[in-house]
């Protein structure tokens, strides 16, 4: 009976090992399928990647800074023109 019991436990252990391996393989295949479907969904939705978003954000920040600098320069030039016009009007 002990030999039969040992054989039964060995068969059961082998069955559990095979089942665990099959479950792990199924898990990996399922994850790969979901990942592929998720990527396809995002491509179809035209969602940008994080890298593209960061690059555009940096360009927008740089453009905003340049715009502020140009606005400041225009204001300075307008003030100089106004000053010159007042001086020219007073002299003429």
The string of pLDDT tens digits covering residues 43-90 is 888 888 899 999 999 999 999 999 999 999 999 999 999 999 999 876
Task: Provide DSSP, 16-75.
Answer: HHHHHHHHHHHHHHHHHHHHHHHHHHHHHTTPPPHHHHHHHHHHHHHHHHHHHHHHHHHH
Task: Give the count of domains, the chain.
Answer: 1
pTM, 2 dp: 0.47
Residue 49 belongs to what domain range? Answer: 2-91
The string of pLDDT tens digits covering residues 14-52 is 888 888 888 888 899 999 999 999 888 888 888 888 999
Tokens representing residue 3 in the block: 């030999």
């Amino acid at each position: 009976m002990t030999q039969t019991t040992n054989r039964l436990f060995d068969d059961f252990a082998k069955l559990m090992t095979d089942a665990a391996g099959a479950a792990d393989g199924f898990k990996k295949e399922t994850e790969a399928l979901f990942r592929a479907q998720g990527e396809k969904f995002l491509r179809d939705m035209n969602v940008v990647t994080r890298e593209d978003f960061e690059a555009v954000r940096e360009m927008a920040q740089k453009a905003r800074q340049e715009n502020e600098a140009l606005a400041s320069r225009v204001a300075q030039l307008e003030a100089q023109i106004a000053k010159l016009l007042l001086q020219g009007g007073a002299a003429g």
